[in-house]
Chains A and B, each alone.
Chain A
């Protein structure tokens, strides 16, 4: 199904859409307040963008440098060309330790690789420990936002889910009570876990270390209690030097939620004595995206979610309507690179207003890339007949002055005199949920000519 059809499903519950829209806009406003307090915010964004561009242009040497330094620190480094290999590597590490109970903190990469079903098929229990991720895991849904995974769920729905799975008492969706119950439930899982899986926010080439950011403390609870810590990272997570964290950590939290920094920014360098630390570096289509000049800057992304919070389409269509691991504007430029046909409607899920590019902390030209994908897609993927014909007609009308004037005149005449059921027929897609503007006397051209005459 195309994005617009999926969005129509989400839009059936109007009150929920309104809430979703406002909740995310509120996060966007918090981002603004927080960013405006920082002296040199725009320079931070410029530096971040330039550093990421430097990383991509030297990615091979940074990867080797990172590997060498991580190994020196006693960390085992693995390389996975694709999702399947990533899952196999993680499973083989767990097998070696006979690990059956796993706690996992947020990692969009493991979502992208569908790690959970792979491990579960081998009889391994994987518990997502971020509260939002635990909620969607219990609901057997994917996250709908990369920072706020359960933003599409109302608290009453969480209440019912927890009653069913955690045995909580009905509470009218009291967030304090539900969070406290989740804390108890997940404490138990942390204590009993054989291994912990985390994502990676930043991997530092010149130290071989990596940084994981959470607000809940779940990555640390998992990693420091279990005997084995596996950190999974997309290869684009590298930064050259530790001091560059100064740039990126100043940007990440503020862009994501308006916090000046996440509650915990954990710097892992060496495993504790007697414990193991593994890093899995994953390609899974990233080197291919690197080859595309127009789209490679999408690999700058630090997964803050700011482009989603600001996007008028995302806010009103919900993350699930994108049917891709990363939804929203950034997902709409990443996903066509992975499967052009499947995700061909995503670059059209945008007004091209450019707000995403304006808030992006690493200055990805998201809206320009959306436009460029559209040009690739209309060439490579068959478009719906109605859209094709309509646009062709519009093209010829707009190219011809006489036709344009005639079309304008007849449209105004029709709007004024035709009955409503004709104007708002099925053909008028724009009018499904909106009224067309009321027609006042002349168009601009006529009004201007008259005015000239009367001067």
Chain B
């Protein structure tokens, strides 16, 4: 074991020394001028257009009280539902930090609150805090994300500013349902993750 550990340390030193020897003279890290990327556009409309482009569906609601009726309408056959949103009473399966993710394999629907949305690419940012079990948004058959219309940002630069203070565990941008075009470039929705994505904008 000692031998392996020593070898490990040696590679680390050897790599770092090789880098020091071979790297060019230090070049500056550029300051990013965000002014170059600013645009006056309708954030909600742009987000919805881009979400459609990536295969997702957007529904605009007036109030959080409307979400359950809308979800029932869109997914009438869903019975095994995990809701991570306190405003939704549709959950039939409750989860907590100790839930074994493999047991969620046959979940029909997960309902998760998105922290923010990105207009330029139709993506929603969600973190472990929002869905408790990391596998949930991927293993569920269908996915509903709920986002406030006030939390839609123009582009990724603003988004990274907005999430810079978070507790970093696991987070993901989700842009549309899982998809693949690996067979002759034919787009097929529903590869390994959720087969459909609905975003409720409230």
Q: Do A and B bind each other?
A: yes
A57-B30 contact in complex given A175-B188, A220-B172, A260-B54, C-beta closer than 8 Å:
no
CB distance from B49 to the nearest CB of A (A): 10
CB of B96 closer than 8 Å to a CB of A: no
Residue of A whose beta carbon sits closest to that of B128: A272
CB of A59 closer than 8 Å to a CB of B: yes
- Asked if B22 contacts A262 (CB within 8 A), the reply is no
Complex CA gap A264/B133 in Å reads: 16
A267-B171 contact in complex given A64-B16, A220-B138, A272-B134, C-beta closer than 8 Å:
yes
- Asked if B191 contacts A261 (CB within 8 A), the reply is no
Kindly identify, within residues 202 to 231 of chain A, every residue whose CB is under 8 Å from any CB belonging to chain B.
207, 209, 215-218, 220-221, 223-225
CB of A115 closer than 8 Å to a CB of B: no
Residues of A within 8 A of B160 (CB): 242-243, 245-246
CB of B129 closer than 8 Å to a CB of A: no
Complex CA gap A132/B188 in Å reads: 13
CB distance from A133 to the nearest CB of B (A): 8
Interface string of B124-156 (1 = CB under 8 A from A): 000000000111001100000000000000011
CB of A38 closer than 8 Å to a CB of B: yes
- Asked if A131 contacts B18 (CB within 8 A), the reply is no
Residues of A within 8 A of B27 (CB): 50, 53-54, 56-57
- Asked if A57 contacts B182 (CB within 8 A), the reply is no
Complex CA gap A334/B157 in Å reads: 31
A7-15, A186-194, A349-357, A372-380: which lies at the interface: A186-194
Residue of B whose beta carbon sits closest to that of A159: B183
CB distance from B84 to the nearest CB of A (A): 15
- Asked if B16 contacts A63 (CB within 8 A), the reply is yes
CB of B57 closer than 8 Å to a CB of A: no
- Asked if B29 contacts A240 (CB within 8 A), the reply is yes
Interface string of B1-43 (1 = CB under 8 A from A): 0001001100110111011111111111110110011110000
CB distance from A179 to the nearest CB of B (A): 4
Size of the B side of the interface (Cβ < 8 Å), in residues, is: 76
B60-68, B72-80, B161-169: which lies at the interface: B161-169
- Asked if A269 contacts B168 (CB within 8 A), the reply is yes
CB of B117 closer than 8 Å to a CB of A: no
- Asked if A290 contacts B156 (CB within 8 A), the reply is no
CB of A138 closer than 8 Å to a CB of B: no
Complex CA gap A221/B123 in Å reads: 19
B87-95, B107-115, B173-181: which lies at the interface: B173-181
Interface string of A100-137 (1 = CB under 8 A from B): 00000000000000000000000000000111100100
Residues of A within 8 A of B54 (CB): 259-260, 263
- Asked if B156 contacts A51 (CB within 8 A), the reply is no
Residues of B within 8 A of A131 (CB): 180, 182-183, 191
Residues of B within 8 A of A273 (CB): 97
Kindly identify, within residues 159 to 197 of chain A, every residue whose CB is under 8 Å from any CB belonging to chain B.
173, 175-176, 178-180, 182-183, 186-187, 190-191
A179-B188 contact in complex given A215-B180, A293-B24, C-beta closer than 8 Å:
yes
A135-B182 contact in complex given A217-B192, A220-B172, A265-B172, C-beta closer than 8 Å:
yes
CB of A3 closer than 8 Å to a CB of B: no
CB of B184 closer than 8 Å to a CB of A: yes
CB of B105 closer than 8 Å to a CB of A: yes
Residues of A within 8 A of B20 (CB): 60
- Asked if B183 contacts A179 (CB within 8 A), the reply is yes
CB distance from A354 to the nearest CB of B (A): 24
Residue of A whose beta carbon sits closest to that of B119: A260
Complex CA gap A215/B178 in Å reads: 6
CB of B86 closer than 8 Å to a CB of A: no
- Asked if B37 contacts A39 (CB within 8 A), the reply is yes
CB distance from A267 to the nearest CB of B (A): 5
- Asked if B11 contacts A81 (CB within 8 A), the reply is yes
- Asked if A221 contacts B193 (CB within 8 A), the reply is yes
- Asked if A217 contacts B138 (CB within 8 A), the reply is yes
Residues of B within 8 A of A132 (CB): 180, 182
A23-B184 contact in complex given A221-B193, A225-B101, A287-B19, C-beta closer than 8 Å:
yes
- Asked if B157 contacts A243 (CB within 8 A), the reply is yes
Residues of B within 8 A of A220 (CB): 134-135, 138, 172, 193
Complex CA gap A58/B9 in Å reads: 21
Complex CA gap A209/B39 in Å reads: 30
A260-B53 contact in complex given A63-B19, A130-B182, A249-B156, C-beta closer than 8 Å:
yes
Residue of B whose beta carbon sits closest to that of A39: B39
CB distance from A185 to the nearest CB of B (A): 11
- Asked if B32 contacts A250 (CB within 8 A), the reply is no
- Asked if B102 contacts A92 (CB within 8 A), the reply is no
Complex CA gap A302/B179 in Å reads: 21
Kindly identify, within residues 44 to 78 of chain A, every residue whose CB is under 8 Å from any CB belonging to chain B.
44, 47, 50-51, 53-54, 56-60, 63-64, 73, 78
Can you list 18 contacts pairing A with B, beta carbon distance less than 8 Å?
Answer: A57-B23, A148-B185, A175-B186, A207-B168, A215-B179, A218-B191, A220-B135, A221-B139, A223-B134, A259-B175, A263-B54, A263-B176, A264-B178, A265-B175, A272-B134, A273-B97, A281-B15, A283-B11
The 5 A-B residue pairs with the shortest CB-CB distance in the complex, in nearest-first order: A217-B193, A260-B121, A132-B182, A216-B191, A291-B22
- Given A43-B37, A215-B178, A290-B19, 17 more A-B residue pairs with CB atoms under 8 Å apart are A56-B24, A81-B11, A132-B182, A155-B183, A175-B184, A187-B105, A187-B192, A215-B191, A217-B191, A250-B156, A260-B53, A261-B121, A261-B156, A265-B173, A272-B170, A283-B15, A287-B18
- Interfacial residues, chain B to chain A (CB-CB below 8 A): 4, 7-8, 11-12, 14-16, 18-30, 32-33, 36-39, 50, 53-54, 97, 101-102, 105, 118, 120-123, 133-135, 138-139, 155-157, 159-161, 164, 168-186, 188, 190-194
